[in-house]
């Protein structure tokens, strides 16, 4: 379906022009009503790393209507946000994304209209910068389109390829975030399908995995997710499309969007994602790398389906498998 809108995309929210700003109080505009304060600050303090934004919130240096505030707090129009003095890097200080990365991201665009932009994110590219990564997909797209206000709708693991959705308008971001919150955290409003190669031979039919997931931190701050009854409810459905070379090529539909959900659920049922160096089978990964040339995780976000305008404007977005994954499937045949 083709969508048109005569309005131009909104300009990015203004941020202080100087590299060092004093404390200031910002009044929240109506178009920011409902936005989480951490996301507002990340957009306002352009150049500030995510770690700094969360430190400012945890330490109480950011104040909402005179009081301390948590990162997940949603803003309301008219709120007063006090932002402490922060040194913001100028573009010249932090540089620009590498030319090759910018060209790759520009070529990865698979859909856009006045409200949304969708890319087929390459594996190895982070959704956003941080933790030693200067430029992720969103920073690179902003460098490509400096006059636009682009915001991530959701995230993909760095090693997962496929559809990554970016909002070009605040109204689209708000509506999509509301769809993601439907059913108490179940992603019923946005239907997500992935393609994955799982180790071993999965049984026929659809295997549904209803196993709660808990996100823990290892030494050094690395996230590690485990099946744990005390975690958040997580539901995935695995369907075998083909069996090739003793492996199972599957479609995976998820009803919740938890961190590392597919990877941990796949391991939980004894068929980890091929090439997954965190939750996968080391021996199987080495065999697939040496014999089939699989040098990355075989997990790809292939389809997103949702509707905006209260259901009046349906979207069905698709992103094809990358050539290196197609080659692996051909070798397995």
CATH entry, 186-332, from 1.20.1440.130, 3.30.2350.10, 3.40.50.2300, 3.40.50.1980:
3.30.2350.10
Fold of the domain spanning 101-172: Pseudouridine synthase (3.30.2350)
271 with 199: CB under 8 angstroms?
yes
DSSP one-letter code for 280: S
Q: Please check the confidence at residue 284 and state whether its pLDDT lies above 90.
A: yes
The rounded Cα 314 to chain-centroid distance in angstroms is 21
Has 157 been annotated as catalytic? yes
Tens of pLDDT along 88-115? 654 444 578 899 999 999 999 999 999 9
Task: List the beta bridge partners of residue 196.
Answer: 250, 299
pLDDT tier at 42, thresholds 50, 70, 90: confident
**Would you state the pLDDT for residue 182?**
58
Domain boundaries, the chain: 23-84, 101-172, 186-332
Same fold, 23-84 and 101-172: no
Average pLDDT over residues 43-67: 86
**DSSP strand pairing (299-308 vs 161-167):** parallel
Architecture of domain 23-84: Roll (3.10)
Question: Which entry of 79, 157, 276, 281 is annotated as an active-site residue?
Answer: 157
Tokens of 229: 């009854």
150 with 142: CB under 8 angstroms?
yes
CA angle in degrees (0–180, nearest 5) for 246-163-243:
10
DSSP one-letter code for 95: -
Considering only CA atoms, which of 118, 115, 108, 109 is closest in space to residue 316? 118
Tens of pLDDT along 143-181? 999 889 899 999 999 999 999 999 999 889 989 988 887
**DSSP strand pairing (235-244 vs 206-210):** antiparallel
E strand or H helix that includes residue 56: helix 50-58
Half-sphere exposure in the Cβ direction for 167 (13 Å, CA): 17
**Would you state the pLDDT for residue 184?**
42
Among 77-86, 297-306, 313-322, which is the least confidently predicted range?
A: 77-86
92 with 41: CB under 8 angstroms?
no
């Amino acid at each position: 379906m083709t969508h048109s809108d005569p309005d131009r995309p909104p300009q990015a929210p203004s941020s202080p022009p100087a590299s060092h700003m004093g404390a200031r109080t910002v009044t929240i505009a109506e178009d920011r009503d409902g936005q989480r304060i951490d996301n507002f600050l990340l957009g306002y303090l352009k150049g500030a790393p995510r770690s700094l934004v969360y430190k400012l919130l945890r330490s109480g240096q950011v104040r909402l209507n005179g009081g301390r505030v948590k990162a997940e707090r949603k803003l309301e129009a008219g709120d007063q946000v006090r932002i402490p003095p922060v040194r913001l890097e100028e573009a010249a200080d932090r540089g620009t994304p590498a030319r090759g990365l910018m060209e790759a991201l520009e070529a990865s665009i698979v859909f856009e209209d006045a409200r949304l932009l969708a890319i087929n994110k390459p594996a190895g590219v982070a959704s956003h910068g941080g933790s030693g990564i200067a430029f992720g997909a969103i920073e690179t797209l902003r460098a490509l389109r400096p006059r636009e206000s682009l915001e991530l709708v959701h995230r993909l693991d760095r090693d997962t390829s496929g559809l990554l959705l970016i909002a070009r308008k605040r109204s689209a971001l708000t509506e999509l975030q509301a769809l993601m919150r439907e059913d108490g955290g179940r992603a019923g409003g946005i239907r997500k399908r992935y393609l994955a190669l799982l180790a071993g031979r999965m049984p026929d039919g659809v295997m549904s995995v209803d196993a709660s997931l808990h996100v823990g931190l290892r030494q050094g701050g690395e996230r590690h997710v485990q099946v744990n009854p005390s975690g958040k409810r997580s539901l995935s459905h695995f369907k075998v499309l083909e069996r090739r070379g003793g492996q199972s090529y599957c479609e995976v539909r998820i009803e919740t969007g938890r961190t590392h959900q597919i990877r941990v659920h796949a391991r939980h049922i004894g068929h980890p994602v091929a090439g997954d160096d965190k939750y996968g089978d080391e021996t199987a990964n080495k065999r697939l790398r040496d014999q089939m040339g699989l040098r990355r995780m075989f997990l790809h976000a292939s389809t997103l389906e949702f509707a905006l305008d209260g259901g009046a404007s349906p979207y069905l977005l698709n992103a094809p498998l990358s050539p290196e994954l197609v080659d692996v499937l051909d070798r397995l045949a």
